[in-house]
Structure 1
Amino acid sequence: MEETQTESRISSLLLYGAWFVSLIAMLGSLYFSEIEGFIPCELCWYQRISMYPLVLILGIATFKNDLQVPRYVLPLSLLGGSISVLHYLEQKVPGFGGIKPCVNGVPCSSEYINWMGFITIPFLALIAFVLITIAMLILALKKTDA
Structure 2
Amino acid sequence: MTRSAWLLLFGAASAALIASASALFLGEVMGMTPCTLCWYQRIAMFPLALILGWACMTSDRSGAVYGLLLAVPGLLVAVHHSLLISGLVPQVWAPCGAGSSCLKQDLAWLGGIQLPWLSLLAFALIVALLSLHLKKTSA
- TM-score normalised per structure 2: 0.90
Deviation of 1:94 (Å): 6.2
Aligned ranges for residues 58-97 of structure 1 at < 5 Å?
A: 58-93=52-87, 96-97=90-91
Q: Say if 2:13 and 2:52, in contact at 8 Å, map to a contact too.
A: yes
**Stretch of structure 1 that moved more, 119-128 or 45-54:** 119-128
- The change in CA–CA distance for 1:99 and 1:131 in structure 2 (over 3 A counts) is same
Deviations 1:5-45 (A, max 9, x none): xx711011111111110000001001111111111000000
Q: Say if 1:19 and 1:58, in contact at 8 Å, map to a contact too.
A: yes
Deviation of 1:102 (Å): 1.9
Count of matched residue pairs: 138
Which one has the largest radius of gyration?
Answer: 1
Deviation of 1:98 (Å): 5.5
Unaligned 5+ runs, structure 2:
none
* Aligned residues with identical type, % of pairs: 38
CA–CA distance in structure 2, aligned partners of residues 45 and 120 of structure 1 = 15
RMSD between superposed Cα atoms in Å: 1.8
Counterpart check, 1:130 vs 2:130:
no
Unaligned 5+ runs, structure 1:
1-6
- TM-score normalised per structure 1: 0.86
